[in-house]
Amino acid sequence: MIRISRLAAATAVALALGAGAAPAMSQTAARPAAAARPQAKPRWPGLPPGAVEAYATMRDGTKLAANVFKPEGKGPWPVIMTRTPYLKDGRIDPEKDPKGARMKEALAKQAKHYTDAGYVYVLQDVRGKGRSGGFYAAFENDVEDGYDSVEWAARQPWSNGKVGLTGGSAMGITSNEAAMAAPPHLVAAYVVVAPQDLLKNSYMGGVLKEKDVIGWQRDQGIAEDVLDQGRRRVANDIFWQRGAMSANARFIRIPIYNVGGWYDIFNRGDVANFEYLQNQGAKGARGNQKLYMGPFGHGNLSGGLEYPGLDRLALGGDQEIRWFDHWLKGIDNGIMAEPPVTYVMMAAAEKGAYSPKNRILRSANWPPAYREVRYYLEPDKALSTRPPAAAEAKISYRDDPANPVPTVGGANLTFERGPMDQRAIPARQDYLRFETPALDRDVAISGPVKVELYGATDGPDTDFMAKLVDVYPDGYEALVLDAPIRARYRHGRMPDEVRMMTPNAPEELTIDLWNTAITFEKGHRIALHVTSTNSPRFEVNPNTGEAPGEHRLPPRVAVNSVYMDASHPSALVLPVVYPDDAKK
């Protein structure tokens, strides 16, 4: 998710290791050599209950620490491993911090779920974190370290040589990176909420996710000059590609169960990773993937909607154990006979008025069969399935970087998230609300959503933002998806694809809103909101055309236009499906 400077990371590691340093050996060292006697290394007091600490040596000699939890009885057993930057022991000093003790108990409880199922569970600190050596540079070493760690686990006396990887978020990223390295003893993985590419996720449409990327790093004490370096890294390059699933998933040879959330920050990744591996992956991966998508985010949802029983997700659940039982133990439990895709078709979900049309559906692939339906923007701010006939039509507004549109929900990590009510954004000239009439029947969609926007600006560069919104009969404007595009990256983010805009000349910009599955119920309205800012979710474009991270020119007010005529048919493009129960 977020790259951290080596200097800042090294400082944090030094403090962490200093707090948990091994006892001094001065008395032994003071004795004559002949008098010295071997002494057993004292057990590290910070371990969660039931854990034994072990060290794996990486190819460069760096030692990574892990907690090993073994089942009762006599092994060897198959192994499930998680590689974490969030400390295998929780907080270092549980005696001074009661929360630390509770965290250790939670870690032990998580491990017990695996050991009760007959697996050794290995929880490893990644390089430069917790008890592990080396310097922490987020996700830069996890290809090689993941390979070496899996192979280390396979060689241990308690292991039968079959290893699975599991984890969510950062631990999902480390699992994917290890899988790309294709260690011979890695058999399967269970990955929860992980991206496809960090570049595409952190800079959606070429626009930096300001609060979740820069804000999170700043909270970790990263220096401002280092943050500015991150602001400049918008173009694609070899360093981004090295850990990118889009470039390297072809090397994966194992079955992976991907689990994601419709409101999650990694929505796109779980779906895209499944799609490629299931349909184009290498032998061992192709045809052996699973996908589950539910109505949850990267944390509890904010706002007035809720999905009881469908919005919670935990690692170590029965579905995960079934997955590993099949692949690591060879148990014929029927999981591979089930459809590859399970997803929640969302519907009306206001608190106290939950619709029964929220339901679990299954599919042979993702996306399910659909047809694209275009809802065209009209000058009166309606959405219509009829293509525009006017020779000229547009709406213009002034985009002032000093007065950005505020963020209200979305696929956020560090602040309020999910399907919040967009009525919190008052009427303003730079926030365009387009919507259909009240629907006379349900409209169900499953798959990728995009906006084909013909936009213009009076300067060299600007941003356009789009939101898919479900408008309830009582007026609640539930945010479903939102995404931006920076105009200069409309052709791509390879260095030779960057193009400034010609002032006041409309061009087509495709905004990828990612995937969803939702039924817009009868009586609701389908809405598209268009603007140029969404702060602090996204970085505000100064509209100057300066290179990313530069601040030499003062921000300028841009006049931006959205075209909607016969030659420039701006449209919301929805993947409409017709499941049998949606026809009723």
Residues 6 or more apart whose Cβ sits within 8 Å of residue 254: 179, 186, 187, 188, 189, 284, 285, 288
Helix 170-181 with 142-155: angle, nearest 10 deg: 80
The closest of 265, 228, 251 to 177, measured between CA atoms, is: 251
Helix (H, G, I), strand (E, B) or coil at 163: strand
Count CA atoms within 13 Å of residue 549 on its CB side: 14
CB 576, CB 444: distance < 8 Å: yes
Taking alpha carbons only, the member of 87, 93, 85 closest to residue 107 is 87
Residue 579: predicted pLDDT? 55
572 touches 383 (CB < 8 A): yes
The answer to whether the bond into 404 is cis (omega within 30° of 0) is: no
> How far is residue 10's CA from residue 14's CA, in Å, rounded to a whole number?
6
| Predicted TM-score (pTM) of this structure | 0.89
**Could you tell me the two tokens for 158?**
């308690």
pLDDT at 93: 54
Please report the pLDDT score of residue 37 as a whole number.
Answer: 42
Per DSSP, helices labelled H in 169-231 are 170-181, 198-202, 216-219, 224-231
Q: What is the pLDDT of residue 7?
A: 26
For residue 571, give the DSSP letter: E
Evaluate whether 91 touches 16 at the Cβ level (below 8 Å).
Answer: no
The DSSP secondary structure of 434-477, one letter per residue, reads: EEPPPPSS-EEEEEEEEEEEEEEESSS--EEEEEEEEE-TT--E
Each residue's pLDDT expressed in tens, for the chain with a length of 584 residues: 333 333 233 223 222 322 332 222 233 333 333 333 444 456 677 899 999 999 999 999 999 999 999 999 999 999 999 999 989 998 655 555 666 778 888 899 999 999 999 999 999 999 999 999 999 888 889 999 999 999 999 999 999 999 999 999 999 999 999 999 999 999 999 999 999 998 999 999 999 999 999 887 777 567 788 788 888 989 898 888 988 999 999 999 999 999 999 999 999 999 999 999 999 999 999 999 999 999 999 999 999 999 998 866 544 468 999 999 999 999 999 999 999 999 999 999 999 999 999 999 999 999 999 999 999 999 999 999 999 999 999 999 999 999 999 999 999 999 999 999 999 999 999 999 999 999 999 999 999 999 999 999 999 999 999 999 999 999 999 999 999 999 999 999 999 999 999 999 999 999 999 999 999 999 999 999 999 999 999 999 999 999 998 889 999 999 999 999 999 999 999 999 975 544 44
Is CATH 3.40.50.1820 the classification given to domain 49-182?
yes
**SS3 at position 87:** coil
Q: pLDDT at position 33, please?
A: 37
373 secondary structure, DSSP code: E
Q: State residue 14's pLDDT score.
A: 29
Please tell me the predicted confidence (pLDDT) of residue 46: 84
Q: Does domain 371-582 have CATH number 3.40.50.720?
A: no
DSSP annotation string for 108-153: HHHHHHHHHTT-EEEEEEPTTSTT--S---TTTSHHHHHHHHHHHH
Calpha distance 152→147 (Å, rounded): 9
- Residues present in the chain in total: 584
Evaluate the CA torsion angle 158, 164, 169, 171 in order and state its sign. Answer: positive
* pLDDT recorded at residue 492: 95
* Domain chopping of the chain, boundaries: 49-182, 371-582
- Output DSSP code: residue 252: -
| Integer Cα distance of 342 and 290 in angstroms | 8
- Going from the C-alpha of 570 to that of each of 451, 516, 529, the distances in angstroms are 8, 21, 13
